[in-house]
Structure 1
Amino acid sequence: MVDLFIKHVLGVGLDRPGLYGQTSGYYGTVEQQGRLTLHMHMLIWIKNSLTPQEIRDKIMDPNSDFQKAMVEYLESVHMGEFMTGSMESVKQNIAEEDHKNPSRVPPTETLPEPPPKKCDHSTKSDCDQCQKHISWWIRFKRTLDEILYLSNRHTCCTDKNGNCKARFPRETHPETVVDPSTGALIMKKGEAWINTITPAVTYLMCGNTDVTSLLSGTAIKSVIAYVADYITKTPLKTHVMFQSIQQVFER
């Protein structure tokens, strides 16, 4: 799956850009949790991308269209809310679907539905293929929201002081804005209890994903240190591994 992600989503080894642009480099490491589930932490470098300082300088230029283009790009691959409504409305939609079909399988346990072939003309109401494509997009949004609700919604785990260990809830922002004093981009985020994601990636993976754009030198250093920590982490001890396996079979 990792090889497929690198090839088809990042576009590595292909004669076309990946989902985020042309990938110039990547590095990932797989973490094994105590319950033996695996997940990957990956850094991606985009070809011809600017440094955080260069981005700041261009964003602060009042005569440049860069700010608008940058925001449009980031919002196209980086979102922190549901696509069809609030968390409560998504919860209600899922409950209604379960009531209609109690035996249905949730999208986190199935493969994603591929899109139909798109027509080579503008959308027409009398074109069957166009209508199939519109219907698929509606299902895509509802499916994505259900995946987010089932796998990305944070259930709080607190420390001894009552603080969330994962630093939830997160700040929300109704729209993407630029701090005029620092040039920092404050990204649009509608839900406090989910991380930011790329819709296409979450839909393809049918499970929990987390995508963040590193827009400052501090963020870049922090994430590199975070990934490096997993690279050098001591492997799971044998007795802990067998204890985890035993717990799985006892459930």
Structure 2
Amino acid sequence: MFDKGLLNFYITINPTDVYNPIVKFLAGSEIDIDDMLLNKSFLSTILRFDKSKGTAVEGILGHVKVYYGCVESQGQGTLHCHMMVWLEGGHDPNEIKQHIMEAKDTNFCDQLLAFLDDTISNDIPSEPDPDILVPLMVHHLCSVHGVFPISNEEDPWATTVHQNDLHHLVKACQTHKHNLLCFKFDLDESHYCGSSYIDDETGEICLHCLNGMVNNFNSSMWEAVHCNMDIKFIGLGAPAKTILYYIMDYITKSQLQAHLSKFDPADDEIAIRAKELIRKSAHAMISHQELSV
């Protein structure tokens, strides 16, 4: 942040436990652990960033100038990724404040809100036809990868199938339910905002919120990864400060000590494979906190 300034987006990708590549690896599948940890497909296909050249063409969020990705293990041992993204031409909070509060640039405000509304969603899409089956209604939703053909304005049936698929995905993966052990204060049924707006007095960007229990997501990213995710824009005002505080507190937390088991000649083949996977994952997670340049 000292070199590139404040980020524009903070993204979290949280794969499902059951269909996580680590589980498949332990079951005997040949999985490229390095490719999984570095999210190569996500970077090259979704963000369209070429790490080897340090360049990007226009991706889902625009032209990515730089990113910082950190992969870590959850309590159950599965991996998830936190990523900070800087965009070419992206404005930091001071520049946004200048446009909104000082210059009173209504054209800038309208374009910014239109971009954010197109990028971030937090509502369960409607189900146009409950009688049309999609693969995730038969199989586990994280074991299938979307529907084909994709949505097409010239093909109403394809559009309906695509909408059904998205409806069930959001309902199953992005909708939060409070319980005794987990309570997210930023997700509440009372949170509702019919349309995005910018507060004239504070300059705070208030994004539309049609369902207070649905976590933010980008529909294109989400259909690609088919798992729980979160995306936040670093704008202006109290929400931006809260997000930045969370990020700084998160990335500066103390690291847990790693105790890797030694070789035991009595181990069978499965135990050896499991220990080798843990060792590789631990070393990769320590060394692959990467910063694109």
Global fold match (TM > 0.5): yes
Structure having the larger proportion of residues in strand: 2
- Show structure 2 runs of 5+ residues with no match: 1-35, 262-270, 275-293
**Aligned AA (2:118):** S
Q: 1:23-61 deviations in whole A, cap 9, x for unaligned?
A: 011111122112122111111111111111211221344
Identity %: 17
Mean CA deviation greater in 47-56 or 70-79: 47-56
Counterparts of 1:203-222 in structure 2, within 5 Å, are 203-216=223-236, 218-219=241-242, 221-222=244-245
Q: 1:215-250 deviations in whole A, cap 9, x for unaligned?
A: 1351452243144146x43156679xx9xx9xxxxx
Find the residue that maps to 1:75 and give its secondary structure. Answer: helix
Q: Is the 8 A contact 2:47 2:64 kept in 1?
A: yes
- Show structure 1 runs of 5+ residues with no match: 124-129, 246-251
CA distance in 2, matches of 1:142, 1:218: 37
Q: Say if 2:106 is the partner of 1:64.
A: yes
Q: Is the 8 A contact 1:172 1:192 kept in 2?
A: yes
Q: Say if 2:145 is the partner of 1:111.
A: yes
Shift of 1:4: 0.5
Question: TM-score normalized by structure 1?
Answer: 0.73
Structure having the larger proportion of residues in helix: 1
Q: 1:54-79 deviations in whole A, cap 9, x for unaligned?
A: 11221344453111100110011101
Picking from 62, 75, 81, the partner of 1:34 is 75
RMSD: 3.2
**Aligned AA (1:169):** D
Picking from 143, 167, 188, the partner of 1:169 is 188
Q: 1:80-109 deviations in whole A, cap 9, x for unaligned?
A: 112216xxxx9x94xx667x9998224322
Equivalent residue for 1:234? 256
Equivalent residue for 1:7? 44
Picking from 97, 116, 119, the partner of 1:77 is 119
Name the count of aligned residue pairs.
Answer: 216
Mean CA deviation greater in 145-154 or 20-29: 145-154
Mean CA deviation greater in 176-185 or 56-65: 56-65
- Note closer, same or farther for the CA distance 1:114–1:50 as it changes in structure 2 (3 Å cut): farther
Q: Say if 2:159 is the partner of 1:137.
A: yes
